[in-house]
Every structure is written in structure tokens, then in C-alpha cells.
């Protein structure tokens, strides 16, 4: 049976829950550590024939109560979090708008007028370090003290689970910052993803004034496009094909970017020569190799010809490396000329 998670964005929308088993948290990333809490939540709800309810906040509480906004790096957007919690099998997700007024209510009001009044929880599952209310004076001990007053069951998330969640969240963020997707995916328990809205750009592609496609036989395709202004030539390169195509595109890859317009003709002529040279070598060499050396072994001929092309590309690479710093310096001078002209 397909279960659909209900999402509520204010307490005014809430229905009367049936034996609500409640937990509270940001659940950023909804990673493997969080899923241990979710599994515990689902087990408790199944035992009492109740509903699983997660309370989370938006925006992140630290953006409201902390001045260190720039230090917050969230793994998921709100919509992504909703999607992941729905996939985890939660019955109800309640997203509370986190405001200064909400943060400044007393801990007792938080329990009585927020948790009890709106959720009527049968069970609350939370960690020993959960803090709430003004100045974060509310804690697990206060929830424990009020449990017989409001007739709910309080269950503690073990410290080692909370420590694991904190470590996992930090490690996931660090892995993503350093582009270590494999580690992030392992800790998340799913392939990291992000979503966004496709919007209109500046349509600069329509202004490309020149383009060039180099078809490298069976090797692949190299496409070079460029757009120019008074001073500069802006070049972009795309290579499609197997490894040889990438090797053959090295000169254009190194050339990609901005160059002084008055020098481009010289560089382009030299680089074009080295791009075409491997093709010439391969074309002239295949026939002779096939007949006189390789006894018409086509596969061997392709391998040897490919080696010759790679050799020519390496020669080109060495030449470009020597010229690279000179090209960069001249590009910077040209850019400064543009800035000086604009400031006048």
C-alpha cells in the first residue's frame, strides 16, 4: 500500500493526530544517522497503532538566534528534505516557521502551548541535549518532569546515536565542500542530489560570432567556439569522444578562456597545426603500417596510429606549457586596459 506523507506548514492546519509519536529536529541531510531515529519512531508508532510525526523548523533556528549566519551550510533545501522524509515513510511532517517570537517563548509555554496543545503526543522521542524555549532553558529533564502532568511517554535517543548524527553531518558537509562525493554518498545512504529552477540566462550563446568543429575520424569531435570584443577573444572548447579525443583537445582546453585579441592569430595558427598534425600522421601512417608492418591487422594499426597521435599531442602540450604564462600575462594586461577605459 502506497503511503503519502502529509505536510503541514503551520499549527493552524493540524488535524487531531492518532497516538502521535513525535520527534523534533532539523534533520538536515536525512542521512543514515537520522534514519536510526526514524526507524525508532516508526517502531514505536507501530507498537501503539499510532502516527509518526516529525516537527522541523524553517528557516534553520540558527539563522534566527545566531549571528554566525555565514557559518551555516545546509545539505538539503526544504523541498529536498520533504522528499527524503516522505521516502523514509514518515506519516506527518510539520514545518514550523521559526521566528524570534517563537524562540522567545518560555520553555513551559513551549511544552504546554506548542507541543501539548497542538500535537497531544502519546510519545515524545528526543535527545538528552535537546534545548528549547527562551535562552534555551528547556531541556530533557524539564520534559521528563512534565510527562506525568500532560500524560505522555518520554523516550531518550541514546547519546551515541546523537554523537554519530553530529559527526556524520559534519563529515558529509566537509566531504561535499571538498568534492568527495563518494564519502558523502556513503554517509548519506543515498546519492547526493540538488534541485533548482531552470531560469532564463543572458542568452550569450546567441552572440557567438565564430565556431569551429574538428571531426577526428573515429576518434571523436572537438568543437571550439569564440566571441570577441574590441580587446579580447573569449574561447570555449568541448570535446566529445573516447580518450584520444580528450588528448587531442588539450591545446584548445589550455587555450580556453580569454586572450589578447592582437595575439590570438599567432597562437591559434600554432595550436591548429598541432591539432591537425596527429590526424595527418595517423592518416599517412595507417596505409604503410597496415601493409608493411602489421599485415593488415586493423586493430593493431589503430593502436599504433593512436600512439602516434598521442605523441604529437604531448609535443603540443609541452609547447603550450612554455607559452602559458606569457599568454596569461598578456591577457591580464588587456583586461586592465578594458577596466581603465571603463573608469574614464
Given a cut of 70, whether residue 71 has pLDDT beyond it is no
Domain match, 34 and 170 both? yes
Whether residue 148 is found in the same domain as residue 102: yes
Residue 234 and residue 184 share a domain:
no
Confidence of residue 324 (pLDDT cuts 50, 70, 90): low
pLDDT tens, position by position, 5-50? 999 999 998 999 999 999 999 999 999 889 999 999 999 999 999 9
Tens of pLDDT along 91-144? 999 999 999 999 999 999 999 999 999 999 999 999 888 899 998 899 999 999
Q: Is the dihedral of CA 170, 172, 175, 176 positive or negative?
A: negative
- Whether 147 and 219 map to the same domain: the answer is no
pLDDT, the chain, mean: 74
Write b or e for each residue in 29-63: b if 16 or more Cβ atoms lie within 10 A of its Cβ, otherwise e: bbbbbbbebbebbbebbeeeebbbbbbbbeebbee
Domain assignment present for residue 228? The answer is yes
Query: Does one domain contain both 182 and 210?
Result: no
57 and 166 part of one domain = yes
Domain edge (last residue) among 188, 222, 238: 188
Confidence of residue 344 (pLDDT cuts 50, 70, 90): very low
Question: Within a domain: residue 164?
Answer: yes
Whether the predicted pLDDT of 309 surpasses 50? yes
Read off the CATH number of the domain in which 156 is found: 3.40.50.620
pTM of the model: 0.60
Q: So what's the pLDDT on residue 304?
A: 64
**Is the domain of 160 the same as that of 211?**
no
Q: Are residues 178 and 310 in the same domain?
A: no
Question: Would residue 1 count as lying in a domain?
Answer: no
State whether 140 and 250 are in the same domain: no
Query: Does residue 99 belong to any structural domain of this protein?
Result: yes
Residue numbers of the domain that contains 275: 205-343
pLDDT band of 162, cuts 50, 70, 90: confident
Q: How far apart are CA 275 and CA 286, in angstroms?
A: 18
**How far is the C-alpha of 144 from the C-alpha of 156, rounded, in Å?**
10
Residue 142: its pLDDT value, please?
95
Question: Which residue among 123, 156, 188 closes a domain?
Answer: 188
CA 97, chain centre distance (Å): 25
Same domain, 29 and 163: yes
Structural domain count of the chain: 2
The domain boundary residue, chosen from 153, 188, 223: 188
Per-residue pLDDT of 202-251, as tens digits, reads: 776 566 544 444 444 434 444 555 555 554 545 555 554 444 444 444 44
In three-state secondary structure terms, 22 is strand
Residue 197 inside a domain? The answer is: no
Q: Are residues 283 and 317 in the same domain?
A: yes
pLDDT, average across residues 321-339: 55
What pLDDT shows up at residue 102? 92
Q: 170-199, pLDDT tens digit by residue?
A: 889 888 888 888 999 999 999 998 877 777
Answer whether residue 291 is part of any domain.
yes
Say whether both 230 and 172 belong to one domain: no
Using 50, 70 and 90 to split pLDDT, how confident is the model at 290?
Answer: low
Query: What are the backbone angles phi and psi of residue 145, rounded to the nearest 5°?
Result: -65, -35
pLDDT recorded at residue 33 = 87
Amino acid at each position: 500500500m502506497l503511503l503519502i506523507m502529509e505536510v503541514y506548514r503551520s499549527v493552524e492546519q493540524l488535524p487531531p493526530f492518532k497516538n502521535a509519536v513525535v520527534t523534533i529536529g532539523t534533520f538536515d541531510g536525512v542521512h543514515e544517522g537520522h534514519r536510526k531515529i526514524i526507524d525508532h519512531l516508526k517502531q514505536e508508532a507501530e507498537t501503539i497503532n499510532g502516527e509518526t510525526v516529525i516537527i522541523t523548523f524553517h528557516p534553520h533556528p540558527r539563522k534566527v538566534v545566531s549571528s554566525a549566519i555565514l557559518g551555516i551550510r545546509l545539505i538539503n533545501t526544504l523541498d529536498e528534505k520533504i522528499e527524503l522524509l516522505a521516502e523514509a515513510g514518515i506519516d506527518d511532517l510539520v514545518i514550523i516557521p521559526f521566528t524570534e517570537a517563537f524562540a522567545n517563548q518560555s520553555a513551559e509555554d513551549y511544552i504546554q502551548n506548542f507541543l501539548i496543545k497542538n500535537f497531544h503526543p502519546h510519545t515524545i522521542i528526543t535527545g538528552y541535549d535537546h534545548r528549547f524555549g527562551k535562552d534555551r532553558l528547556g531541556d530533557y529533564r524539564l520534559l521528563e518532569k512534565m510527562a506525568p502532568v500532560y500524560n505522555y511517554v518520554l523516550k531518550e535517543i541514546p547519546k551515541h546515536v546523537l554523537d554519530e548524527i553530529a559527526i556524520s553531518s559534519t563529515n558529509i558537509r566537509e566531504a561535499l565542500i571538498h568534492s568527495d562525493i563518494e564519502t558523502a554518498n556513503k554517509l548519506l545512504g543515498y546519492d547526493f542530489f540538488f534541485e533548482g529552477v531552470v531560469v532564463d540566462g543572458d542568452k550569450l550563446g546567441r552572440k557567438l560570432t565564430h565556431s569551429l568543429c574538428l571531426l577526428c575520424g573515429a576518434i571523436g569531435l572537438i568543437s571550439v567556439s569564440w566571441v570577441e570584443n574590441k580587446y579580447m577573444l573569449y574561447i570555449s572548447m568541448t570535446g566529445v569522444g573516447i580518450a584520444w579525443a580528450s588528448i587531442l583537445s588539450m591545446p584548445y582546453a589550455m587555450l580556453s578562456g580569454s586572450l589578447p585579441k592582437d595575439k590570438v592569430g599567432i597562437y591559434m595558427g600554432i595550436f591548429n597545426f598541432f591539432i591537425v598534425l596527429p590526424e595527418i600522421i595517423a592518416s599517412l601512417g595507417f596505409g604503410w603500417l597496415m601493409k608493411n608492418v602489421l599485415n593488415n591487422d586493423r586493430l593493431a594499426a589503430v593502436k599504433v596510429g593512436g600512439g602516434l597521435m598521442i605523441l604529437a599531442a604531448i609535443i603540443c602540450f609541452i609547447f603550450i606549457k612554455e607559452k602559458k604564462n606569457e599568454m596569461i600575462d598578456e591577457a591580464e594586461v588587456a583586461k586592465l586596459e578594458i577596466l581603465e577605459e571603463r573608469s574614464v
